[in-house]
Structure 1
Amino acid sequence: MTDETAQMPVENGALTNGSDATSPAIRVLAQYVKDFSFENPHAPNSLREGSQPKIDLQLDVSARAMEEAGVFEVDLKINARSERDGQSQFIIELVYSGLFQFANIPADAFEPLLLAECPKLLFPFARHLIANTSQAGGYPPLMLDPMDFGALYASQKLESANAQPA
């Protein structure tokens, strides 16, 4: 299997796909753990069997332009807290980031790309880190359900539009 994005040549700072220099293009330049924390405050007592744990999951996405034209950093922030019988089992805080380069993208398409499509590309890697870390902490792997970032983005846009005064 080949990596399509790795084969996109860059000419004069703009992405090309080999056929049309005006075609829209997105390229993942890098992805990385920006911040990561795992706390297991009540181990080993919290590792004992008990009632079903309650998982509180919070997710946030942010993006910012970098100094290089057309390059943006997208942060996917995931906080997961497991509690059982009123006591914390574990707390995971992760900021998983990516650098994305865009070429020939209309201005009105940037926001949905940055806040829906880019996090969709980052999520599987963040999910894997969280599952492995919770398992290394002595718990069953925390397998996050797949996220529909497009629907989350649309819902957030609708909420903000409804919150605006008429």
Structure 2
Amino acid sequence: MADNNENTAAPAAAGEGATDPAQAPAFGIAGQYVRDLSFENPNAPASLVPGTTNPASNVNINVQVKKQADDAYAVEIGLNVKTERDGKVLYAVELVYGGLFRTRNIPENQLGALLMVEAPRLIFPFARQVLAQTIQGGGFPPLMLEPVDFLALYRRNLAAAADKANPDGTAAGEAKPTVN
């Protein structure tokens, strides 16, 4: 016969390892949106006829952060795709997909990475889906984008900002991302 062991320890007294939930760091998404979406198929319907060579796509991704209030930030991923075959544009897509994020009690030195890495990582799958559906709706196979390493993108942008701030190559303190 198994014993039913219940935790009978008394709850911790106030101040003994208990933290005030109002002071705990918090990060969450309040909403998602499409701010801008443009699809161009300049050579339709000829662009839909299969060609002798495979099309090539050029994809550019950027992340922007805009402060909305003391605890709210809009994080937007810009995706620009241009697909060509034999020197002719098949289609061009521009998408700005965003999320509104709420923060509370996040240390300033962690806020940039949180907004430039974790926030876009959370909304990217939704942006990728909008992009794929838009391209498919234009008569083309959906573009299957690989996951993006937003941490590497963030680090590259920090290094570029540090190089720009110190063109003579001198050492500098930690660069901060621009949060508007």
Shift of 1:157: 1.0
Give distance in 1, aligned partners of 2:67 and 2:137: 35
Counting strand residues as a fraction of each chain, which structure ranks higher?
1
Q: Counterpart of 1:142 in 2: which secondary structure?
A: coil
Q: 1:56 aligns with which of 48, 55, 58?
A: 58
Residues 1:157 and 2:158 aligned together: yes
Equivalent AA in structure 2 for residue 123 of structure 1: F
Partner of 2:30: 29
Give distance in 1, aligned partners of 2:26 and 2:41: 43
Residues 1:99 and 2:100 aligned together: yes
How many residue pairs get aligned? The number is 148
Give distance in 1, aligned partners of 2:58 and 2:76: 20
Q: Counterpart of 1:121 in 2: which secondary structure?
A: helix
Q: Counterpart of 2:128 in 1: which secondary structure?
A: helix
Identical pairs, percent: 42
Partner of 1:80: 81
Partner of 1:120: 121
Give distance in 1, aligned partners of 2:147 and 2:45: 30
Equivalent AA in structure 1 for residue 108 of structure 2: A
Partner of 2:14: none
Q: Counterpart of 1:124 in 2: which secondary structure?
A: helix
If you compute each CA radius of gyration, which structure gives the higher value, 1 or 2? 2
Q: Which stretches in structure 2 are left out of the alignment for 5+ residues?
A: 1-18, 171-180
Give distance in 2, aligned partners of 1:19 and 1:55: 51
Partner of 1:131: 132
Q: Counterpart of 1:21 in 2: which secondary structure?
A: helix
Q: Which stretches in structure 1 are left out of the alignment for 5+ residues?
A: 1-17
Give distance in 1, aligned partners of 2:32 and 2:150: 18
TM-score, normalising length: structure 1: 0.84
Q: Counterpart of 1:98 in 2: which secondary structure?
A: strand
